[in-house]
Structure 1
Amino acid sequence: AQLLNRPELIAEESVWPIQADGRPQRMKAIIREDECIGCTKCISACPVDAIIGSGKLMHSILTDLCTGCELCIPPCPVDCIDLIPDVNGIPTEILRKAEQDGLRQRYYAHIQREEKQRLHRKGPVFRAEIDTALFAQFSAQNDAVPDIQILDKEPEMAAKLDAKSTIELAKLRVQIKKLEKQLSVREDTKKRLLLDDLAQQLHQLQGA
């Protein structure tokens, strides 16, 4: 909280039983695979990339990597994800730290990949909510955290066309195609001049 200059948040009381080490029961997510429709929404939501699968194909959760964060449950349109108690024993502090370090690195990689995909993503997507700009600032101030780079879209060669320009372009292309077809059958000076003029208009409009 001090590092990010944010107020401290009080942790909510755990809804899971408390283990012998004083921590809440470790939970793991599982997918009822026979009900999975392969929508990929849970894959985008997982902050440590513990879910594998592809569009319209069955998904599976790598339970060894699952943190039990529950972020994959709300996006699922068919409610085929459950949380079950972790059957493994309580890890030692050394194993816990190694596990946390590994998951932390996966999370950093997830953030960087999300930042790259943000530039090319079309439409909404269900995913873990990540403020990449804030995290980039945090990573730059902490040597233990890999630097997260904020990417900018490459400058486009042509400006975005509005609806009116798009319609004009379509009309010009139709006229040009029609004239080219006519001239391929019979040469005509006036039509050739008109074709050249339309081609010039098209070039100017595309570069506008």
Structure 2
Amino acid sequence: MNSQIALIQNIDALLPQTQCGLCGHRDGCLPYAKSIVNGEDANKCVPGGQPVADALATLLARPKLKAEESVWPIQSDGRPQRMKAVIREDECIGCTKCISACPVDAIIGSGKLMHSILTDLCTGCELCIPPCPVDCIDLVEDLKEVPTETLQIAEQNDLRQRYYSHIQREEKRRIHRKGPVVRAEIDTELFAQFSAQFSNIPEIKIIEKAKAGIVQQDAKTTIELAKIRTQIKKLEKQLSVRDDEKKRAQLDMLLQQLSALGA
């Protein structure tokens, strides 16, 4: 049993941790890793492309298979083009369905307020698109440089932990029936078994500490921008009906705040 667990861990370490479900396992990379150990083909990771399919074949001493094709072009590292989701903010109605759907908590916002996507965390998994009732989410190319192998591993470790935190929170929400739950049925026992082990890896703790301050500040700024934009839209609508000196001054002040925040 221990050797099987170790093999699942080694397979999971090679998977990109986008948790996209394109391999057929809607509940993420770890269940696919477990299924590979049980005999499933190891070439179904679409975002990993041929490099991941070949690495898995080598690890498992299996014949190399052609990777499942992606709809996106291939990057210089042999993987499909990295994508990011963006919200057309003027059309967002603040329904919160995309927040529950995002497996790595890259979307922030609250009910009836515009949502925003933290693009540095978004994996382009597309899972936020189907639940959106007003179809205001697009996918765009990630124009950042292709990450080195070291950065890729660090990113995968971080995404794995974010996903584990996400499903733990969503499971609590499901039990207490608070808010919409937009995800697959989760093998909670499987994730509980592995999440504790991964959380003790020193490298992951270092990455989490390094990112915590940046992500927290980014989230606060994005929420503040969302609130200001909502107030601006409301004032502009009121002023288009009837001019008001106080509201005009308030609008000018909010526009200055928006500019100061770099928006």
Give the TM bin, normalised by the shorter chain: 0.5 to 0.7
SS at structure 2 position matched to 1:78: coil
How much does 1:108 deviate?
A: 1.2
Specify the alignment match of 2:173 in structure 1. Answer: 117
How much does 1:109 deviate?
A: 1.0
How much does 1:122 deviate?
A: 5.1
Change (3 A) 1:129 1:68: farther
Which of the residues 82, 85, 97 maps onto 1:26?
82
Q: Alignment RMSD, CA only?
A: 2.2
Which of the residues 135, 144, 153 maps onto 2:198?
144
Whether 1:8 aligns to 2:40 is yes
How many residue pairs match? The answer is 144
Which is greater in Rg?
Answer: 1
Whether 1:77 aligns to 2:133 is yes
How much does 1:31 deviate?
A: 0.3
How much does 1:144 deviate?
A: 2.7
Cα pair 1:38 1:56 within 8 Å, conserved: yes
Deviation string, structure 1 residues 98-150 (Cα, Å, up to 9, x no partner): 1111111111111221222222015853235533233224547xx3357xxxx
List structure 1 segments (4+ residues) > 4 angstroms apart after TM superposition. 137-140
Identity %: 78
TM-score, with structure 1 as normaliser:
0.62
SS at structure 2 position matched to 1:42: helix
In 1: Cα distance, 2:106 partner to 2:38 partner: 29
1:32 partner amino acid: R
Cα pair 2:164 2:191 within 8 Å, conserved: no
Change (3 A) 1:38 1:128: farther
Cα pair 1:32 1:80 within 8 Å, conserved: yes
How much does 1:84 deviate?
A: 0.3
Higher helix share: 2
Change (3 A) 1:70 1:6: farther
Cα pair 1:71 1:128 within 8 Å, conserved: no
In 1: Cα distance, 2:145 partner to 2:114 partner: 29
**Structure 1 unaligned residues grouped into runs of 5+:** 147-208
**Structure 2 unaligned residues grouped into runs of 5+:** 9-33, 45-67, 201-263
How much does 1:59 deviate?
A: 0.3
In 1: Cα distance, 2:184 partner to 2:109 partner: 18
Change (3 A) 1:63 1:99: same
Deviation string, structure 1 residues 80-112 (Cα, Å, up to 9, x no partner): 000000011111111111111111111111122
Specify the alignment match of 2:186 in structure 1. Answer: 130
Which of the residues 98, 101, 107 maps onto 1:51?
107
TM-score, with structure 2 as normaliser:
0.50
Mean alpha-carbon deviation: is it higher for 101-110 or for 22-31? 101-110
